[in-house]
A and B are shown apart, each in its own frame.
Chain A
Amino acid sequence: SAVISQKPSRDICQRGTSLTIQCQVDSQVTMMFWYRQQPGQSLTLIATANQGSEATYESGFVIDKFPISRPNLTFSTLTVSNMSPEDSSIYLCSVWGNEQYFGPGTRLTVT
């Protein structure tokens, strides 16, 4: 299984600011995904980030709010822009290897 790390593990941010979350994988993977888990909710896919192409966003998520970079096969970043309290969530990256594996998550609180 892939080993995935995320930075930061948690952060408290003020509304109107932006936070960039990093995701590092210990092996090269083609397919990488970003999910969000809002308080008391299930996981929802934000976007797919494949190396060499633009990220593709799910309904309800836009690039201006959640810009994504995928510079190589082991790394990706997700930025949460112009944050509001509604963005308080756990943000998770995942990769599709033999199965789909998840990172430990970044717990974001917006005040």
Chain B
Amino acid sequence: DQQVKQNSPSLSVQEGRISILNCDYTNSMFDYFLWYKKYPAEGPTFLISISSIKDKNEDGRFTVFLNKSAKHLSLHIVPSQPGDSAVYFCAASGMAGGTSYGKLTFGQGTILTVHP
């Protein structure tokens, strides 16, 4: 039972355009969502997060949108740069104070390629 799903294994975008990576979840107990970027042979690098009480969070070129009713979140990267080429993982955590707090459930990842 995959509770966090990234249905697009890969995405190819032209430099300067917008990259949109999508993520769906099924567990309504998830309360906090994070996006990570991962290069081969390195650990995941934290990008941006969002709490379930918000529907949008922005940090520079990265914006995460959360649609709680649809159990869907997306990461927008604008403008995309060749250095953004990596695997992107979304992850979800349970509520603060709960037994699953801090325990991340990851999606399968989306390989983003940004062409010059």
Contact = CB atoms under 8 A, between A and B. Distances in A.
Interface of A: 1, 4, 31, 33, 35, 41-45, 48, 58, 92, 94, 96, 99-105, 107
A45 B104 contact: yes
B108 to A, nearest CB: 5
A44 B109 CA distance: 13
Nearest to A102: B43
A33 B100 CA distance: 12
Interface of B: 34, 36, 41-46, 49, 89, 91, 93, 102-109
Contact of A100 (B41, B42, B102, B108): B102
A26 to B, nearest CB: 15
Contacts of A41: 108
Contacts of B109: 42
A7 to B, nearest CB: 14
B46 A100 contact: yes
Q: Which of B46, B49, B105 has the most CB of A within 10 A?
A: B46
B41 A1 contact: no
A96 B46 CA distance: 11
